Amino acid sequence: MLGGSFRIDGSSRFGEDKKYGTFPAVSAGWVISEENFLRNSNTLNFLKLRGSYGETGNAEVSNFGSRTLYTAAAYAALSGLSPSQIGSRVLSWETTNQFDLGLDFGFFKNRISGEIDVFTKDTRGILLDVQTPLTNGYASILKNVGNMTNKGVEFTLNGSIFTGEFKWSSSFNISTYRNKVTQLANPVSSSSRTLGRLAVGAPFGQFYGHKYMGVDPANGDALYMLADGKTTNSFNDAVDTVIGNPNPDYYGGWNNHFSYKGFELDIQCQFVKGGDIYNIAGIFQSVNGDYFDNQTLDQMKYWRNPGDITDIPQPRLYDGNGTDKSSRWVQDGSYFRIKSINFGYNVSRALLKRFRMESARIYVSANNLFTFTKYTGYDPEVNTQYVSNVNLGHDFYTPPQARTITVGINIGL
């Protein structure tokens, strides 16, 4: 099997000479189980090797990102215009070349089946806002700043465990990836409140900042790490270093379906291992009460007397003792979540006939029922990116996903 495609896409969001991008794709597959040496196998009934290569483009920027813009302004009761955005005539598509190699398999008449995929992605011309000196009159400019590689493995396993009157089918999937910035035309650093940066040879969005080292038992000062590994109570003297990685080690899901006579039960779970989260809300709700935010309970363990051993600095009025951005609020974002549970009963045909109905189903469903995590924020499933897409894993009072329970009945007449 062989297939292919060729696209030419255009977007007015890019510079005059960079509006169009070409994106070819090709795929091939070989059903090995159809070959003579496997066709009559009683164990392995399906085996397919497949591969693909394709190029895609990203144009998810503002409609006028490549243009210099002006906005209405007033001065001394006179109307006028002032520049609001600096343009770039060379702004172009962010392109990704991806190679996939996969294997599909099925055993025992497909009672056990699955997929294994290995992929490599090379992204060129990453589109990001780059900070500029404020003396230019602009805070940032949208540019193609660099390249990145992304390599990963995905595995899916499906099984029909019981197939009699009581049925149980299960599906499990797990994925892992590693990315690395390979080229950077301009530095992309964090802002006053964020930790995400881009650096050649490092993962995308890796956290950089000062490492929090606890509390000085003698005086209650917050401590940070120096370049030689020793501690200091001076935030400005502390070394800027890697303090976290928002990219997870692996993630996946586990789904189960049970049925017995008219009863059905579906359980969907998801999990993430690794992936640090910077809980920015900690600067407001886990400090010395400088702000009006309600404080977390751990603040009751603050330093009181010389010799106290704690990781909560002494609260000080108008004194930023441990309140600066640091690894103090970088936490492990691992979690296991029971995403949904659905339980239903399909009314028997005898009762349907008696009440002259085509179908009837009574059900109870629950979403986001339980989450097991050590993360202290509202929800470890942080999808927002705070300021820009460099700042992965940044959580600033992200509202948690609602836990919902629904009871209902579906009737067909």
User: Residue 266 falls within a domain, yes or no?
Assistant: yes
Residue-level pLDDT at 62: 82
Residues 310 and 345 in one domain: no
Report the half-sphere exposure of 168 (CA within 13 A, side-chain side): 4
Q: Residue 388: pLDDT band by 50, 70, 90 thresholds?
A: low
282: DSSP letter: H
Residue 291: is its pLDDT beyond 90? no
Chain position carrying tokens 């640090």: 276
Residues 367 and 238 in one domain: no
Residue-level pLDDT at 324: 87
Q: In angstroms, rounded to a whole number, what is the distance separating the alpha carbons of residues 262 and 348?
A: 7
Average pLDDT rounded to a whole number, residues 181-207? 85
State the DSSP string of 154-188. Answer: EEEEEEEEEESSEEEEEEEEEEEEEEEEEEESS-B
User: Residue 125 falls within a domain, yes or no?
Assistant: no
Residues 275 and 233 in one domain: no
Average pLDDT rounded to a whole number, residues 196-203? 89
Q: Residue 384: pLDDT band by 50, 70, 90 thresholds?
A: low
Tokens of 392: 């992965």
The helix or strand, by DSSP H or E, that contains position 352, with its residue range, turns out to be: helix 349-354
Q: CA dihedral defined by 189, 190, 192, 193, rounded to 10 degrees?
A: 180
Residues 202 and 337 in one domain: yes
Tokens of 94: 């962010």
Which structural domain range is residue 216 located in?
Answer: 208-244+297-324
Q: In angstroms, rounded to a whole number, what is the distance separating the alpha carbons of residues 281 and 376?
A: 10
Q: In angstroms, rounded to a whole number, what is the distance separating the alpha carbons of residues 394 and 384?
A: 7
Residues 144/80, Cβ–Cβ less than 8 Å: no
User: Residue 226 falls within a domain, yes or no?
Assistant: yes
Residues 230 and 256 in one domain: no
Least reliable range by pLDDT among 199-203, 256-260, 381-385, 388-392:
381-385
Residues 258 and 348 in one domain: yes
Residues 230 and 376 in one domain: no
* Highest-confidence segment of 54-58, 254-258, 355-359: 254-258
329: DSSP letter: G
Average pLDDT, the chain: 89
User: Residue 15 falls within a domain, yes or no?
Assistant: no
CA-based torsion, 13, 15, 18, 19: positive or negative: positive
User: Residue 260 falls within a domain, yes or no?
Assistant: yes
Tokens of 312: 């909560």
Amino acid at 317: L
Chain position carrying tokens 């496997």: 38
Residues 362 and 213 in one domain: no
Pairing of β 394-395 and β 276-279: parallel
User: Residue 67 falls within a domain, yes or no?
Assistant: no
Residues 255 and 399 in one domain: yes
Q: How far is CA 233 from the centre of its chain?
A: 34
User: Residue 89 falls within a domain, yes or no?
Assistant: no
Residue-level pLDDT at 304: 94
Q: How many structural domains are present in the chain?
A: 2
Residue-level pLDDT at 387: 46
Dihedral pair phi/psi, residue 349, rounded to 5°: -65, -30
Residues of the chain above pLDDT 90, percent: 52
Please provide the distance, in angstroms rounded to a whole number, between the alpha carbons at the two ends of the chain. Answer: 46
346: nearest Cα among 407, 411, 268: 411
Paired with 6 in beta bridges are 24
Residues 269 and 307 in one domain: no
CA-based torsion, 200, 206, 209, 215: positive or negative: negative
328: nearest Cα among 313, 316, 343, 338: 313
- Residue 205's Cβ-count burial label (10 Å; 0-12, 13-18, 19+) is buried
User: Residue 135 falls within a domain, yes or no?
Assistant: no
Q: Residue 39: pLDDT band by 50, 70, 90 thresholds?
A: confident
Residues 307 and 398 in one domain: no
Residue 354: is its pLDDT beyond 70? yes
Q: In angstroms, rounded to a whole number, what is the distance separating the alpha carbons of residues 328 and 202?
A: 22
Residues 228 and 199 in one domain: no
